[in-house]
Amino acid sequence: MARIADISRKTKETDIALRLCLDGGGVSVDTGIGFFDHMLTALAFYGGFGLSLTVRGDLQVDGHHTVEDTGIVLGQAVRKSLGDKEGIRRFGSAYVPMDEALCFTALDCSGRAFLVFDAKMPQEQIGGYDACLTVEFMRALAFNAGITLHQRAFYGENAHHITEGLFKSLGLAMKDAIRVEGTGVTSTKGVL
């Protein structure tokens, strides 16, 4: 069964169209924020999933609504495409070194949303992207996907490297967690 979700969401602040295929496919991302496009492309690549995403946001204000709403919609798509989560590994984790930075992600596709985020950003801006928006994206993703997400930057001096390490480690951890390796639900309760 294909693990695919199509989600559209339009508000006064953003207009988003997203297609997610957890089992692979092409990647096309256009949010209007170049660095964020780069991060989402890396996330999909290392996660091994197909992603088609177009976002039109109120960038004349700033990037906050675009980034947060993208996290909301991507989270909803993850939740929908996982369905009852039958057969998935459920847990995933990964370390990613990016030059001087070392980042880690651990997650659980439990249905219980939670975020622990420990990553200081040495610079406020990365191109046209506000570095403080990384935690906003991760929170929106975790709460809308129903995953427990822990991320940490152990050290680093460059906000670009830290953010990229967080997105890439998220992709690798997701790839591990959503991998189908059984037939039942990975829970002693019998449901997720």
Q: Counting Cβ atoms within 10 Å, is residue 161 exposed (0-12), middle (13-18) or buried (19+)? A: buried
Q: Is residue 191 part of a domain?
A: no
Q: Is residue 187 part of a domain?
A: no
Rounded Cα distance between 170 and 86, Å, is 21
Looking at the structure of the chain, the number of domains it has is 1
Q: Is residue 183 part of a domain?
A: no
Q: Is residue 119 part of a domain?
A: yes
| Percent of the chain residues topping a pLDDT of 70 | 97
Is the pLDDT confidence value at 184 over 80? no
- Whole-model pTM? 0.95
Q: At what angle do helices 159-177 and 133-145 cross, to 10 degrees?
A: 10
From 121, 138, 178, select the one nearest 39 (Cα to Cα). 138
Q: Is residue 188 part of a domain?
A: no
Q: Is residue 98 part of a domain?
A: yes
Q: Which domain holds residue 51?
A: 4-177
CATH number of the domain to which 27 belongs: 3.30.230.40
The pLDDT tens digits for 69-91 are 999 999 999 999 999 999 999 99
Q: What is the mean pLDDT of the chain?
A: 96
Q: Is residue 182 part of a domain?
A: no
Q: Is residue 117 part of a domain?
A: yes
Provide the pLDDT for residue 17. 98
CB distance 117 to 96 below 8 Å: no
Provide the pLDDT for residue 188. 67
